[in-house]
Amino acid sequence: LASLRDGFAKLDTQWANDCAEACFKSEDRLRRFALLLQAKVDKESALVSEIKERRRTMQNIRLMAMARPEPAHPPPVLEEPSAEPARAPRRRVAKAAGEAATAAPKRSRVK
């Protein structure tokens, strides 16, 4: 009977130690989870505020573009001077009446 009491005391001590260790591990995991969750919430709120700021910026850009008056006529486009001198377009020279008579007749392609 005494050996059973000693075995029960050892088992009870072992149980108490295991419960304390499990409680510590559980609290540690809960603390880590809370920190991780808080970090994710902070990151999400930072991203949401960044998106809101970008939307406000884009909306302001659109409003400024709408408020800017459009010119009645577009500004003239200035051409850059080129290295080559500008050439006048070639003109067709009408053939004289005598040249037309001596020219070879055109052949038709129909067989």
The per-residue pLDDT for range 53-93, each reduced to its tens digit, is: 999 999 999 888 887 766 667 666 766 666 665 666 666 66
8-state DSSP, 111? -
pLDDT band at 99 (very low <50, low <70, confident <90, very high): low
Q: Residue for token digits 């067709």? A: 92
Q: 3-state SS of the chain: helix, strand, coil percent to 5?
A: 65, 0, 35
**What φ, ψ does residue 18 adopt, rounded to 5°?**
-65, -40
Does 107 or 41 have the greater pLDDT score?
41
Angle at the Cα of 42 (from 37 to 45), degrees rounded to 5? 125
Phi and psi angles of residue 55, each rounded to the nearest 5 degrees, phi first: -65, -45
Q: Is the pLDDT of residue 15 over 70?
A: yes
In tens, the pLDDT along 18-49 reads 999 999 999 999 999 999 999 999 999 999 99
